[in-house]
A and B are shown apart, each in its own frame.
Chain A
Amino acid sequence: MSEVKSKYLVDERGYFGKFGGAYIPEMLYPNVEELRSAYLEIIETPAFKADFEQLLKDYVGRPTPLYHAARLSETIGAKVYLKREDLCHTGAHKVNNTIGQILLAQALGKKRIIAETGAGQHGVATATVCALMGIDCIVYMGEIDMARQKPNVERMKILGAEVRAAKSGSKTLKDATNEAMRHWINNPQDTHYIIGSVVGPHPYPDMVARFQSVISEEIKWQLEEKEGKTSPDCVVACVGGGSNAAGAYYHYLDDEQVKLVAVEASGLGNDTGKSAATTALGREGVLHGSRTILMQTDDGQVVEPYSISAGLDYPGIGPFHAHLFDSGRADFVGVTDEEAMKAGVLLSRTEGIIPAVESAHAIAALHKVSFESDDIVVVNLSGRGDKDLETYIKWGKY
């Protein structure tokens, strides 16, 4: 992790612009405060950095390739590179963060790990690092998500994690997050909560973004090798909570020539009541411990979002992205279920890569942004489609 200073990153009070902070009940304060007061010191030690980099290399398989997708580029009319996070061990970028956080949990002397998961990718990535380190692991997952991402539930179990169904509320990611927070309240001393995205109270959004920043750190030198310059014209990434996007944007935040495109899930369409496009449909408020943008009723009750993609089915975005939206630094684009699925098939047919449904949203967005033919565009291909076979089969149009 190389140090980046940017007005788009967290300030010393834990805010990204006016977003962020730590809106947590006193029952969580000691846990979060312990983390806040220790995280920077720990992750900046040479020993931590060495362990982190070693594991990313030997265990995760980094650097992930930056691949020039020539046939896809033709259909888009720009030079498209794919940052192959789908080739990470466990199949998505999520593991970059869980490696970092498990090392941090060990440094803090924690004996047990809890996590929430939507698509199951973060749950699998957490179960994986817990198996690697021999630490107990409990993953909360919405009951509905358990049904639609069954293979990942079984993967977590094979890895030795206990998967607990979140049965409250909408029974999806936000409720799994609530249950994980409740677990943490009830077990404050021996447990570390590995949040899976750039959400939650400070320091989580900053910490997760730092661990994911390896993505753009690599893009810079890989692009230099291929194109003779470190900056592309555009970086595209899907945003659930926003961790893969945060990692892909991180080293380009102050390079205002680089257009940042954030892709949200519009579900069946933003006007159908079945969408998860937070910036299109939400307003400022407080969710899961941070001031951010979220989908809510006039009365401030959190709305149940919808997307075909479990990983994007979240009613908020991290404060990192709320600030990029509010300041106009990133452009937010909505992609429907149908557009994403078609893009998933397009990538499969043109490049022989079946993307995760989340990442297919980023591919679909390429049709919605206008490019010059010599533009260099990097799409962060956050995950592979293995976990989504059932979704592809159910959709059926291939």
Chain B
Amino acid sequence: MNRIDQAFKEKGNQLLNVYFTAGYPALEDTLPIAKALNDGGVDLIEIGLPFSDPVADGPTIQESSTQALANGMTISRLFEQLQDLRPQVDVPVLLMGYINPVLQYGFERFCARCQEVGVDGLILPDLPMYEYEELYKDVLEKYGLYNVFLITPQTSDERIRKIDELSKGFIYMVSSASTTGAKSGITNEQIAYFERIKSLQLANKRLIGFGISNNESFEKACEFADGAIVGSAFIKQIANDSSAAAIQSFVKNIKHPK
């Protein structure tokens, strides 16, 4: 069974998925950060492939990408770092990135390497749905990878149904019309959107991301979905302190503050 399905099966709801950019703040931090997140109790990990032109990202993730690239991060380097991912990390791991670097690496070669190192899924936000269906779906399946699609408050019900059919693992619910890290907190308008999606009774699990930064927003999101994703807030944390102790206390503060 794919580790993503297993995580949802075992843990039910209130899953915490944390995003960070590979090779940030220092080139060799990728695996230690993943391990600290794992040990701190996150339920899924999303590792970002840095890109020079991240149009869907706000300043925090942009800056982490610029820094990671300046540090020398590449896809090849990342796979070398992830050679020791398993068994140090046992939660599911997804790679998230813009499509161009993946195409240059070679899509199938990329998927094969993902499988070798124990990656469970991909999030490729600028890969068009029709192209996924026609060209890449079979490749992902061949290497046991799940593809996660995004939906936003503007995504039509019809398109959401289609995405639900194509998705595996979970659907990434972008919480508002925004780039990453642009807004924080949850408004009534967003709650109406969360409720609308909940009422669609989709086949897939749902995680809410964008604007989730603390225990309050995490718990609110979990009322409407199976869990939530923290990105920019965690990048700010590791920019400040990326020690294992700091990361573990960050995770604890989001999931179970006292």
State the A residues within 8 Å of B (CB). Answer: 21-31, 168-169, 174-175, 178, 181-182, 185-189, 285-289, 296, 298-302
CB distance from B180 to the nearest CB of A (A): 10
In the bound complex, what is the Cα–Cα distance between A73 and B213 (angstroms)? 66
**Are A298 and B179 in contact (CB-based, < 8 A)?**
no
**Chain A to chain B contacts (Cβ below 8 Å), 9 pairs:** A21-B131, A26-B151, A31-B154, A185-B55, A286-B99, A286-B103, A288-B55, A300-B51, A300-B100
Please choose the segment from B39-47, B120-128, B200-208, B248-256 that sits at the chain A interface, where 4 or more of its residues have CB less than 8 A away.
B120-128
CB distance from B141 to the nearest CB of A (A): 22
Interface of A is mostly: loop
In the bound complex, what is the Cα–Cα distance between A3 and B62 (angstroms)? 42
**Are A169 and B126 in contact (CB-based, < 8 A)?**
no
**Are B105 and A300 in contact (CB-based, < 8 A)?**
yes
**Are A27 and B179 in contact (CB-based, < 8 A)?**
yes
Cβ of B104: which chain A residues have Cβ within 8 Å of it?
285, 296, 298-300
The yes or no answer to B182 lying at the interface (CB within 8 A) is yes
Cβ of B69: which chain A residues have Cβ within 8 Å of it?
301
Q: Which of A188, A286, A288 has the most CB of B within 10 A?
A: A286
With A21-B128, A174-B53, A301-B51 already in contact, the answer to whether A185 and B177 are too (CB < 8 A) is: yes
In the bound complex, what is the Cα–Cα distance between A73 and B102 (angstroms)? 49
In the bound complex, what is the Cα–Cα distance between A189 and B104 (angstroms)? 34
CB distance from B25 to the nearest CB of A (A): 18
The yes or no answer to B199 lying at the interface (CB within 8 A) is no
* CB closest residue in chain B, given A179: B55
**Are B149 and A26 in contact (CB-based, < 8 A)?**
yes
**Are A27 and B51 in contact (CB-based, < 8 A)?**
no
Q: Within B182-238, which residues are at the interface with A (CB < 8 Å)?
A: 182
Cβ of B102: which chain A residues have Cβ within 8 Å of it?
300
Cβ of A299: which chain B residues have Cβ within 8 Å of it?
74-76, 101, 104-105
Cβ of B179: which chain A residues have Cβ within 8 Å of it?
27, 182, 185-186
Cβ of B131: which chain A residues have Cβ within 8 Å of it?
21
**Are A23 and B127 in contact (CB-based, < 8 A)?**
yes
Cβ of B115: which chain A residues have Cβ within 8 Å of it?
none
The yes or no answer to B58 lying at the interface (CB within 8 A) is yes
* CB closest residue in chain B, given A181: B55
B53 partner, pick from A29, A178, A185, beta carbons under 8 A: A178
The yes or no answer to B13 lying at the interface (CB within 8 A) is no
Cβ of A286: which chain B residues have Cβ within 8 Å of it?
98-100, 103, 126
Cβ of A300: which chain B residues have Cβ within 8 Å of it?
51, 75, 100-105
**Are A25 and B125 in contact (CB-based, < 8 A)?**
yes
Q: Within B50-104, which residues are at the interface with A (CB < 8 Å)?
A: 51-59, 62, 66, 69, 74-76, 98-104
* CB closest residue in chain A, given B50: A301
The yes or no answer to B150 lying at the interface (CB within 8 A) is yes
**Are B53 and A289 in contact (CB-based, < 8 A)?**
no
With A23-B126, A299-B74, A301-B101 already in contact, the answer to whether A188 and B53 are too (CB < 8 A) is: no
**Are B155 and A29 in contact (CB-based, < 8 A)?**
yes
**Are A289 and B126 in contact (CB-based, < 8 A)?**
yes
> 10 tightest CB-CB pairs across the interface, nearest first?
A300-B104, A300-B101, A25-B125, A30-B154, A26-B150, A25-B56, A301-B52, A181-B55, A286-B100, A302-B52
With A26-B125, A26-B174, A186-B178 already in contact, the answer to whether A302 and B152 are too (CB < 8 A) is: no
Cβ of B53: which chain A residues have Cβ within 8 Å of it?
169, 174-175, 178, 287-288, 302
In the bound complex, what is the Cα–Cα distance between A299 and B23 (angstroms)? 15
CB distance from B15 to the nearest CB of A (A): 21
Cβ of B128: which chain A residues have Cβ within 8 Å of it?
21-24
Cβ of A29: which chain B residues have Cβ within 8 Å of it?
152, 154-155, 159
* CB closest residue in chain B, given A26: B150
Q: Which of A21, A185, A189 has the most CB of B within 10 A?
A: A185
In the bound complex, what is the Cα–Cα distance between A27 and B55 (angstroms)? 10
**Are B55 and A182 in contact (CB-based, < 8 A)?**
yes
**Are B178 and A178 in contact (CB-based, < 8 A)?**
no
Given contacts A27-B150, A181-B55, A299-B104, 15 further A-B contacts (CB under 8 A): A23-B99, A26-B149, A26-B155, A27-B174, A29-B159, A169-B53, A175-B53, A182-B58, A285-B103, A285-B104, A288-B53, A288-B55, A299-B101, A300-B100, A300-B105
In the bound complex, what is the Cα–Cα distance between A27 and B149 (angstroms)? 11
Cβ of A301: which chain B residues have Cβ within 8 Å of it?
51-52, 69, 101
Cβ of A288: which chain B residues have Cβ within 8 Å of it?
53, 55
CB distance from B75 to the nearest CB of A (A): 6
**Are A178 and B51 in contact (CB-based, < 8 A)?**
no
Cβ of B75: which chain A residues have Cβ within 8 Å of it?
299-300
A185 partner, pick from B52, B101, B178, beta carbons under 8 A: B178
Cβ of A186: which chain B residues have Cβ within 8 Å of it?
177-179, 182
CB distance from B117 to the nearest CB of A (A): 18
* CB closest residue in chain A, given B153: A188
In the bound complex, what is the Cα–Cα distance between A23 and B135 (angstroms)? 14
**Are A27 and B101 in contact (CB-based, < 8 A)?**
no
Q: Which of A168, A175, A181 has the most CB of B within 10 A?
A: A168
Cβ of B52: which chain A residues have Cβ within 8 Å of it?
169, 301-302
In the bound complex, what is the Cα–Cα distance between A24 and B54 (angstroms)? 11
CB distance from B132 to the nearest CB of A (A): 11
